Structure 1
Amino acid sequence: MIGKLKGTIDEIGEDHVVVDVHGVGYVAYCGARALSGIAGLGEAIVLFIETVVREDMIRLYGFPSAAERDWFRLLQTVQGVGAKMALGVVGTLSPSDLSNAVALQDKAMVARSPGVGPKVAQRIVAELKDRMPAFSGAALDEAFGVKRDIGGGTAAAPVADAVSALTNLGYARDQAASAVATALKEAGEGADSKILIRLGLKALSR
């Protein structure tokens, strides 16, 4: 089982790269974001690898970070999501974008990925929602809890009101949720919406 490749770029294709590791060329299929970040032929590269074995093929999928590889694996646990679609999702959205989309139940963000329709996007955000804390671990801070509660409609009224107010002021919902999470940490769980809005605006101005 190949877990990581470290070598030089020997070839760049539309959907793959060939990594030369001590004279052996490995074909690794990559998403659009990963391919766009590759410098050029002969440059050093490190890819985290997921090996997919089928009856008629063995294919290596390469990712610039372990987090992207983990998302690739997790996405395939959703009904109707195969390797090709999962690669399209991680090739379109970064791990933080995916975390936010699932936390906020933002199926429209997921549906931006090639080949992902509204129904599949809905399944992705719905089925992965309860698994996110265990999956993301230390990668998520207090902001994730706020975003998750907002997405599920379980956030306390002052929190939801503060996020709504910041959104109405023109801030993206993700930005607003992060700012309110920061405000909540500073003001405490019992803070009312006015305090959260004021502290949220302060956080956004930094």
Structure 2
Amino acid sequence: RAGLRPRCVAPHATDCPVIASVEGVVGAVAFDSLVIEVGGIGYRVFAAPAILAAAVPGKVLKLHTYHLVREDQQALYGFRSAEELGFFNLLLTVTGVGPKVALAIVGSRPTADLQLAIMTQDQAVLVSIPGIGKKLAERVIFELKEKVAAAGVAAIGSGGPGTGPGGGASEGEIVGALQALGYSLSEAREASRAALADVGVSSSLEERVKAALRSLLRE
């Protein structure tokens, strides 16, 4: 999953915040954040609704964090996994996307689903998120399509059951993902069929896309 690991997006390496994760006892839980108590210090961490709903005061919780540092503000944004944090960082590179919008996107559904929506240019998925309009959805897709692809296909497929024969990924999903990478419809269809012969009908989206890309690179 190279390319989607947590990274600093500050202009200079010396500006990179140092709080990469927080683990401690959950204190107060608010509508947009929670307090994690570590060594007598309470850290306020902004998080997605799913994290806040699952947080239990008095229980230990660990979150991967993005440490926002500005001249007039510091804030922590928490995530359940390094993949979520990495995708959050990627969203921050999009023009007009700040931490609050990026958090809303990351917290809306599984990261793999969001990455697939970007690759297949499925605006409907992004527009369904509160606060994300059509223009912003178009910008996210335009600016991140190649970055998500370059980050590694392993982070795009969820690996779960698909809709194709045998419970695997469907040909439409594979073709859409390959077209999002710039391949023509005919190239994508041919590569999808080659991938099917290579990894079988029960393969996941991740496995099928990897196999399809291998066949295209061999040409």
Q: Shorter-chain TM-score category?
A: 0.7 to 0.9
**Number of aligned residues:** 174
More helix, by proportion: 1
CA contact (8 A) 1:48 1:63 kept: yes
Cα distance in 2 for residues equivalent to 1:153 and 1:51: 35
* Aligned pair partner of 2:44 in 20, 24, 27: 27
Q: Which residue of 2 aligns with 1:130?
A: 146
Change (3 A) 1:135 1:153: closer
> Following TM superposition, by how much is the alpha carbon of 1:102 offset from its aligned partner in structure 2, in angstroms?
0.9
Is 1:11 aligned to 2:24, yes or no? no
Q: Which residue of 2 aligns with 1:62?
A: 78
Is 1:150 aligned to 2:179, yes or no? yes
Map 1:65-76 onto structure 2 (within 5 A). Answer: 65-76=81-92
Amino acid at match of 2:33: H
Q: Which residue of 2 aligns with 1:192?
A: none
Cα distance in 2 for residues equivalent to 1:10 and 1:85: 25
Cα distance in 1 for residues equivalent to 2:174 and 2:21: 32
Gaps of 5+ in 2: 1-17, 160-168, 205-219
Cα distance in 1 for residues equivalent to 2:181 and 2:196: 23
Amino acid at match of 2:102: A
Cα distance in 2 for residues equivalent to 1:134 and 1:152: 9
Amino acid at match of 2:42: G
Amino acid at match of 2:197: A
Q: Which residue of 2 aligns with 1:187?
A: 197
> Following TM superposition, by how much is the alpha carbon of 1:75 offset from its aligned partner in structure 2, in angstroms?
0.6
Cα distance in 1 for residues equivalent to 2:109 and 2:54: 14
Amino acid at match of 2:186: A
SS of residue paired to 2:107? helix
Amino acid at match of 1:98: L
Give a deviation string over 1:137-172, Cα, whole Å, max 9, x none.
6434697864422346735438559xxxxxxxxxxx
Cα distance in 2 for residues equivalent to 1:41 and 1:137: 37
Cα distance in 2 for residues equivalent to 1:118 and 1:83: 19
Amino acid at match of 1:91: G
Cα distance in 1 for residues equivalent to 2:67 and 2:155: 24
CA contact (8 A) 1:51 1:61 kept: yes
Gaps of 5+ in 1: 162-179, 190-198
**Relative contact order higher in (CA < 8 Å, ≥ 6 apart):** 2
CA contact (8 A) 2:25 2:36 kept: yes
Change (3 A) 1:107 1:44: same
Give a deviation string over 1:91-114, Cα, whole Å, max 9, x none.
112211111111111111011222
Amino acid at match of 2:46: Y
